[in-house]
Amino acid sequence: MITSTDATTASPHHEKPTENVDERKWWMGVLARAATQDFYALNSFIPPKEAYRLIKKPEIGTVMVEARAGGAGRRFNFGEASVTRCVVQLVSGELGFSYALGRDKGKAEQAALIDAILQSGDAYVKNTIFSILKTIEKKHFAAKDLQSRKAAATKVNFFTLVRGEG
Amino acid sequence: MSVAPLIQGFSDPILGSQAIFRSILDAMAHPGTIGAIDDSICGTPKDIPLAAAACLLTLIDYDTPVWLAPEFMSMRSWLAFHTGAPDAASIDQTRFALVSAQSSSPAVTDFPKGDDRYPDLSATIIVVCTSLQGGRPIRLKGPGIESEKIISPQGLHEAFWTDVRANNSQFPLGSDIILVAGHELIALPRSITCEEIG
Amino acid sequence: MYVAVKGGEAAILATHDLIAEERRGDRSVPEVTTAQLSEQMKLATARVMNEGSLYDPSLAALALKQAQGDSIEAAFLVRAYRTTLPRFGSTRPLDTSEMAIRRRISATYKDLPGGQVLGPTYDYTHRLFDFALMAEGETAPAAPIASDPLEPHMPRVPDILGDEGLMEAEVPPDGDPAPFDLTRDPIQFPADRDTRLQTLSRGDEGFLLGLAYSVQRGFGGNHPFAGEIRMGEVPVRFKSEELGFEIELGDITLTECQMVNQFQGSKDKPPQFTRGYGLVFGHAERKSMSMAILDRSLKNREFGESVDYPAQDEEFVLYHSDNVEAAGFVEHLKLPHYVDFQGELELIRKIRKEFDERQSEQKAEKAGEAA
């Protein structure tokens, strides 16, 4: 299967082997979870159509979700989930990928473009986009936190009733 | 940094794969007829005939292991990228293969032939010829052919047709073959008989 | 034998229009939107996702709308759509201990680490109609919000007994093998645990509920405890072959149930608590509990227990739990069986004639004897 080195030697497309993979995983995760409206803030970074090619047009497919028996045991195929993916190539050569749950093709293309742009090496662009992504991420964490606090309000506080002295 | 553009797969994945599937289906249903692939339908890696690339792009996916002969390994990452197909761990675990007509090894009979309950679990082998015309004439007979059909592919090794006959004698088991050259293809399902003329 | 009957085309086209009209109903009533269904009917869409075996809440909502709420018809729509989609691969196995918990209870331990978090449940409602819901513009009261979120670490209840060795362990087999996939290969018997769990998770809730009930009523050997039920969101991870590394695709809502059963021991297995596991898409507790009860029931082979009742018979349970398959076969009876029936009719007439002749012979004999 494709590894970074395979791709550089065996095919015309490239992966920068020295790239910070953890950073890329982070921004791809934020983009995957971002809602359509979150992308408005990134609009100015989306290049015009002439500046990129669609290597894989946004495509809806599925992934088979695996789980473990008992939560930690033997793997089983649980069920499928819809996923949209897209691969773009900027005229400058960077390949951008996006994979996200759901069937949003517009978001898929935009996310792939941002992924490509973030690999271009321009520090200003990267820092600006990062700060927007961090805002999106904060919003997501705040929503999670609120949901957890609503659940916490339904947490039972057991207390023992002590009968009065006879 | 400027990088050569990535070689594309289908220009239109849905219409492209449907068109090629139709071509392969027609070729299988009428063995010996030459099917032609439109140039604009998909990209193909350097030195790989368009018809081979088109057939593989159409037929393989994440579920179908592929076996590539050593001379075609250069297309491995292109194929993995566009189809997600896994490499076959060994010849007897493969569902599709790409081989050169000139190589006598592996033989057609070395590939999976299916079993009595699931004859469809055999391999489909794409055989790259130098041309689909101008070679020694071969008489084909069988389902899909009204009386007989003469084909004359070029670039096949000496024992190719002996090998095919050995494969087809296992009917309903056995592999199916697609001969390709340039943008053309001829299908040889396991149901046909073949005989060298002259 | 099915008869090919011509002449129905116009009638069939008319049914498409009629059903569209039926689905819409009274036009002075606002049309239901899929957003309304995915927001306000989450428990219904969860069922469609499970039985259609595809996690996609908006698609499940569309299916319910198109099927006028018939959840099996909706599951059928989802399954059909699913067959048109390419599969990109398999995810990493989910880790439910990472769940962003919205509900988590245990009937086995009162004060468990992380606590009893009741969450959004109907369990404590009085089952009295709230007629205020019939009025429009109903404003739901705001749910109370605690000052702090839940503890991030909520251990699995079965793990609590861990060290004592009294709880059946759930560990992957050597090599952590890739699971069987019934969407690719037909089920063969005896079925392994991965096959059973995949089948149960897409099984009809009603069928599984009835079987689980039968187990509890004695048509099975297990008396289960609800060790834990948890509901919330879990991240989904996928290793893309093109990228060569793992990425997060987003989160899905799940309900997970761990049932705990007493096991008295056998020749080679010590007495211990044994487990049943239920996992479903969305919020669907009853289904997850039923699945967990049946998962344990179908472990009878592993525990050397006898198979006496339907819920222990894996062929019976696994073959009949898929409601799309079941509906297909039951409803196929609506196809023309005219020739079959004619054949039966002729046969009935013939043997009826023989029967009547025999009857009159016997009558004649009796009359003759009497004379």
For C174-207, how does the pLDDT look when each residue is reduced to its tens digit (9 = 90+)? 999 999 999 999 999 999 999 999 999 999 999 9
Which residues contact residue A66 at a Cβ distance below 8 angstroms, ignoring those fewer than 6 apart?
A75, A76, A77, A78, C90, C91, C92, C93, C94, C179
What's the average model confidence in pLDDT over B56-85?
A: 92
Q: Which residue of B has its CA nearest to C181?
A: B63
Please say whether the beta carbons of C339 and C1 come within 8 A.
yes
Q: Which two tokens stand for residue B23?
A: 């071509």
What's the average model confidence in pLDDT over C268-282?
A: 92
Q: Quick one: CA dihedral C350, C356, C362, C365, positive or negative?
A: negative
What's the average model confidence in pLDDT over B47-56?
A: 96
CA C217 to chain centre: 20
Terminal Cα distance for chain A, rounded: 78
Helix (H, G, I), strand (E, B) or coil at A97: strand
Distance CA A97, CA A88 (A): 7
pLDDT at C159: 84
Q: Which two tokens stand for residue C315?
A: 């062929």
What residues of A are in contact with residue C250 (Cβ under 8 Å)? Answer: 32-33, 100-102
Average pLDDT, chain C: 93
Over residues B168-182, the pLDDT tens digits come to 999 999 999 999 999
Please say whether the beta carbons of C60 and C52 come within 8 A.
yes
Whether C24 has a pLDDT exceeding 80, the answer reads yes
CA distances, C21 to each of C31, C37, C369 (Å): 12, 19, 71
Whether B19 has a pLDDT exceeding 80, the answer reads yes
Helix (H, G, I), strand (E, B) or coil at A164: coil
What's the average model confidence in pLDDT over B148-155?
A: 97
Categorise residue C60: left if φ over 0, alpha if ψ from -120 to 50, beta otherwise. Answer: alpha
- Which position has the token pair 């009937």? C107
pLDDT values of chain A reduced to their tens digit, one per residue, 166 residues: 333 333 333 333 444 444 689 999 999 999 999 999 999 999 999 999 999 999 889 999 999 999 999 999 999 999 999 999 999 999 999 999 999 999 999 999 999 999 999 999 899 999 999 999 999 999 999 999 999 999 999 999 988 776 665 4
Over residues B20-43, the pLDDT tens digits come to 999 999 999 999 999 999 999 999
C126 φ/ψ angles, rounded to the nearest 5 degrees = -95, 5
CA distances, A8 to each of A54, A86, A107 (Å): 20, 21, 28
The Cα of B22 is separated from the nearest Cα of chain C by a number of Å equal to 17
Over residues C325-365, the pLDDT tens digits come to 999 999 999 999 999 999 999 999 999 999 999 999 999 99
Over residues C123-181, the pLDDT tens digits come to 999 999 998 888 877 677 899 999 999 998 888 888 887 678 888 889 999 999 999 99
Question: Which 8-state DSSP code applies to residue B170?
Answer: T
pLDDT band at B4 (very low <50, low <70, confident <90, very high): very low
Q: Which two tokens stand for residue B72?
A: 């075609």
Q: Is the ipTM of this complex over 0.90?
A: yes
Over residues C42-97, the pLDDT tens digits come to 999 999 999 999 999 999 999 999 999 999 999 999 999 999 999 999 999 999 99
**DSSP string covering C95-123, please?**
-GGG-EEEEEE-SS-SS-TT--B--S-ST
Closest-CA residue to A31 (of A123, A110, A128, A127) = A110
Distance CA B102, CA B180 (A): 13
Question: Which 8-state DSSP code applies to residue C238?
Answer: E
Q: Which residue of A has its CA nearest to B66?
A: A1
What's the average model confidence in pLDDT over C30-46?
A: 97
Query: Chains with 3 or more CB pairs closer than 8 angstroms to C?
Result: A, B
pLDDT at C132: 87
Which residues contact residue B103 at a Cβ distance below 8 angstroms, ignoring those fewer than 6 apart?
B69, B71, B157
**Torsion angle (degrees, nearest 10) of CA C142, C146, C152, C156:** -70
Cβ distance B62 to C184 less than 8 Å, yes or no, reads no
Which strand (E) or helix (H) includes residue C336? none
Which strand (E) or helix (H) includes residue B70? none
pLDDT at A42: 95
Q: Which residue of C has its CA nearest to B64?
A: C184
Q: Which two tokens stand for residue A22?
A: 């953890």
- Cβ-count burial of A79 within 10 angstroms (0-12 exposed, 13-18 middle, 19+ buried)? buried
Q: Which residue of A has its CA nearest to C237?
A: A65
Whether B141 has a pLDDT exceeding 90, the answer reads yes
Q: Quick one: CA dihedral B87, B89, B94, B99, positive or negative?
A: positive
Q: How many CB atoms lie within 10 A of CB C54?
A: 25
Question: Which 8-state DSSP code applies to residue A14?
Answer: -
Distance CA B180, CA C180 (A): 35
What residues of A are in contact with residue C194 (Cβ under 8 Å)? Answer: 69, 74-77
Over residues B91-137, the pLDDT tens digits come to 999 999 999 999 999 999 999 999 999 999 999 999 999 999 999 99
Average pLDDT, chain B: 93
Interface of B with A (CB under 8 A): 1-9, 13, 45, 74, 76-78, 80-82, 86-87
Helix (H, G, I), strand (E, B) or coil at B73: helix
Whether B2 has a pLDDT exceeding 60, the answer reads no
What residues of B are in contact with residue C88 (Cβ under 8 Å)? Answer: 62, 84
pLDDT at B170: 96
Among B62, B77, B93, B95, the residue to mutate for chain C (most C Cβ within 10 A) = B62
Distance CA A98, CA A92 (A): 18
Q: Which two tokens stand for residue C45?
A: 């869409």
Asked if C184 reaches chain B (Cβ–Cβ under 8 Å), the answer is: yes
pLDDT at A6: 33
Q: Which two tokens stand for residue B163?
A: 């090998």
Q: How many CB atoms lie within 10 A of CB B17?
A: 19
Which strand (E) or helix (H) includes residue B30? none
Max CA pair span of chain B: 60
Cβ distance A55 to B76 less than 8 Å, yes or no, reads no
Cβ distance B81 to A57 less than 8 Å, yes or no, reads no
Angle at A90 between CA A88 and CA A96, to 5 degrees: 40
Pairing status of strand C246-263 against strand C272-281: antiparallel
Angle at C207 between CA C206 and CA C209, to 5 degrees: 65
pLDDT at C4: 65
Asked if A7 reaches chain B (Cβ–Cβ under 8 Å), the answer is: yes
Distance CA C282, CA C271 (A): 35
CA distances, C330 to each of A41, B46, C182 (Å): 53, 55, 22
- Which position has the token pair 């009547």? C356
pLDDT at B8: 84
Whether B44 has a pLDDT exceeding 70, the answer reads yes
Q: Which two tokens stand for residue A26?
A: 């982070």
pLDDT band at C2 (very low <50, low <70, confident <90, very high): low
Q: At what angle do helices A123-152 and A21-33 cross, to 10 degrees?
A: 60
Q: B193 or B1: whose pLDDT is higher?
A: B193
What residues of B are in contact with residue C241 (Cβ under 8 Å)? Answer: 80, 84
Q: How many CB atoms lie within 10 A of CB C204?
A: 24
Query: Chains with 3 or more CB pairs closer than 8 angstroms to A?
Result: B, C
pLDDT at B5: 54
Q: Which two tokens stand for residue A109?
A: 């293309």
What residues of C are in contact with residue B63 (Cβ under 8 Å)? Answer: 87, 184
